[in-house]
Amino acid sequence: MKNDVKGTEIYKTDPLVKRWDYSLSYIHSYAQDSEFFKSLGKNILLGSYCKKCNYKYGTYRKYCMYCGGETQDIELPLNGKIHTFTTCYYSGESFMNDIPYTLILVEFKGIDSLFMSRLINKENIKISIGMKVKAKFKRLQKFDVNDVYFIPEL
């Protein structure tokens, strides 16, 4: 118990307010989404296709949300366009060290729905809707959705 060594942090005495740290390590399984995350290590961005509905999902899902049928994995194009974007100057605590960063929703030709990702914009190009972007993959795979990101395609 760290607190016992360091002493207990008291913020106020009236009313009595103390610091209480609690945390947990979660055993996170990607379960039926695993193939998507494994494929990022092979520089492949997977989407899903429902044959029955003839619908192509830009974000991987193993079952079609319209008919309930199992989807087929498809490779998404690695080039797309910005559907919308935002640059974040604040964040949740877990991402404080990343700010500022830009999130985009990517649209792909021939795919019916979108994909959310980060845009790494090293040259500080002015971002706009409709701008062409291309997927890049992290060399060191961390097995999360940040293993893929997008950059402006000039």
Partner 1 sequence: MNDVYIVSAGLSKFKKYNYDEDFRLMVKRAFDYALNDTDITHKDIDGSVSAYFSDHIQGQLIAGAMTNDYIGLATKPSKRIEGGGATGGLAFQTGYEEIASGNMETCAVYGFESMSHLNTWKGNDVIALGSDSNFDYPLGGFYTAYYALMATRHMHEFGTTHDQMAMVSVKNHGNAIHNPFAQSPMKIAVDDVLNAPMVATPLTMLDISLMSDGAACVILASEERAKSLCKNPVKIRAIGSSSDTMRLSDRPFGNVPLLACESEDDYKNLKYPGVHSFRAGRLAAKMAYERANIKDPLKEIDFAELYDSYTSAEIQAYEDLGFCKYGEGGKFIEKGYSEINNKLPVNPEGGLLASGHAIGATGIMQAVYAFWQLQHSIGKHFNSNRLQVEDAKKGVIHSHAGTGAYETVSILER
Query: Which residues contribute to the site for partner 1 (CB under 8 A)?
Result: 12, 15, 17, 20, 22, 28, 30, 33, 37, 57-61, 65, 83-96, 98-99, 101, 103, 105, 112-118, 129, 144-146
One-letter amino acid identity for 82? I
DSSP 59-97: S--SB-TTT-PBPEEEEPPSEEEEEEEEEESS--GGGGG
Please identify, using beta-carbon distances, which residue of 72 and 86 lies nearer to partner 1.
86
Residue 28 interacts, among Zn ion, partner 1, none and using kind-specific CB cut-offs from 5 to 8 Å, with: partner 1
Residues 6+ apart with CB under 8 A from 73: 35, 46, 47, 48, 49, 60
Task: Classify the C-alpha dihedral 131-137-140-143 as positive or negative.
Answer: positive
65 belongs to the binding site for Zn ion (CB under 5 A): no
Contact call for residues 144 and 124 (beta carbons, < 8 A): no
Residue 49 interacts, among partner 1, Zn ion, none and using kind-specific CB cut-offs from 5 to 8 Å, with: none
For residue 42, the minimal CB distance to partner 1 (Å) is: 18
Residue from 40, 50, 119, 135 touching Zn ion (CB under 5 A): that is: 50
- SS3 of residue 51 by DSSP: coil
Contact call for residues 108 and 77 (beta carbons, < 8 A): yes
Residue 53 interacts, among Zn ion, partner 1, none and using kind-specific CB cut-offs from 5 to 8 Å, with: Zn ion
Please identify, using beta-carbon distances, which residue of 43 and 146 lies nearer to partner 1.
146
Please identify, using beta-carbon distances, which residue of 47 and 152 lies nearer to Zn ion.
47
Residues near Zn ion (CB under 5 A): 50, 52-53, 64, 66-67, 69
